[in-house]
Structure 1
Amino acid sequence: MGRMLRWGVTVPALVALLATPGVAAATPGVGVDAVTLSDSTADGSHYVAKLLTIAPGGGTGWHFHPGDVFGVVRSGTLTHYSADCSVDGVYPAGSTITERSGPGYVHAGRNEGPDPLVMWVLYVNPVLNPADPADVPLVVDAADPGCPLPGSG
């Protein structure tokens, strides 16, 4: 479950924006729009801030993040699922969320409400190659763990 933050400018990330070739049964996002607000590198980290909008009934698809993700729900409500099919958080407007990193934390985010879900999301990745700070993807698609999410399938 995401832990709450007191930072007013950070946001979670839950969007399968980058696909990894060769991943079988990946679950792409549906009804997700992402706009990059900033992209910078400092002190060995790559920082990308995005404004995410998820339409009612839409969601991120199953994924994980190689780096840290921080988020703020600006409007609507985010329903967050873990790979064991449980809802591990419901985040209304004004809520903050963080997501653990790595392939051991596959999850999905959905907008199960009637209004668009709008979030600020900050992704913080390690820089492995200084010549290409964006060499680590923000999001890695994952196979559906077999969870019957509302509106999927």
Structure 2
Amino acid sequence: MGNVISRAATACALTASVLTGTAVGASATPGSGVSAKELFKFTVDGTDYIGKEITIQPGGSTGWHYHDGPLYAVIVAGTLTHYDDSCAVDGVYPKGAPVYEPPGADAVHIGKNLGPEPTALKVLYVLPTGSPPSEDAPAPVCAS
């Protein structure tokens, strides 16, 4: 019986892998040195609007992730270095800079604080109702 359950679990994992385009065994890359404080959350016509203040400590990162809806932010302290799924720096955002992250699993990215002081962002997530603010994603091949 255990063998049947094990094979069923493997089949489910393979099916999920094919449907999502991820490799079996690939794991999400958790953030480090990141804290978040929810400022507000409300829903209008099937869209969630979530405001947060995100702080990334020196040397910290968000982990590789994407969003199901667009993200709008402004840097209120420090500097955010942003990488796209090719591991290229696609933005360096100092205090006062606006940040836009497009939605979708094809827009995987990571934010890092490479500076000596905490980086803080005020963030607005615009999401389909019930979606999490971010979806963990495996690190791209270029990040290994």
Calculate the TM-score normalised by the size of structure 2.
0.80
Pick aligned residue for 1:37 from 36, 39, 43: 39
* Aligned pairs for 1:108-119 within 5 A: 108-119=110-121
Deviates more, 1:33-42 or 1:139-148: 139-148
Q: Which runs of 4+ in 1 moved over 2 A?
A: none
> Given that residues 60 and 109 in structure 1 are in contact (C-alpha distance below 8 angstroms), is that contact kept between their aligned partners in structure 2?
yes
Corresponding position of 1:72? 74
* Residue identity in the other structure for 2:123: V
Report which of the two structures shows the higher radius of gyration computed on alpha carbons: 2
Corresponding position of 1:144? 139
Higher percent of residues as helix = 2
Calculate the TM-score normalised by the size of structure 1.
0.75
* Aligned pairs for 1:126-137 within 5 A: 126-127=128-129, 135-137=130-132
- Return the offset for 1:111: 0.3
String of CA shifts for 1:48-92, please: whole Å, max 9, x gaps. Answer: 000000000000000000011000000100000001010000000
* Aligned pairs for 1:2-151 within 5 A: 24-127=26-129, 135-148=130-143
Corresponding position of 1:14? none
Q: Which ranges in structure 1 are unaligned for 5 or more consecutive residues? A: 1-21, 128-134
Higher RCO structure, 1 or 2 (CA under 8 Å, sep 6+): 1
Q: 1:58 to 1:38 in 2, by over 3 A?
A: same
- Return the offset for 1:136: 1.3
Corresponding residue SS for 1:112: coil
Q: Which ranges in structure 2 are unaligned for 5 or more consecutive residues? A: 1-23
Matched residues, number: 121
Percent identity between matched residues is: 49
> Given that residues 80 and 108 in structure 1 are in contact (C-alpha distance below 8 angstroms), is that contact kept between their aligned partners in structure 2?
yes
Superposed CA RMSD: 1.6
Corresponding position of 2:20? none
Structure 2: distance between partners of 1:126 and 1:30? 26
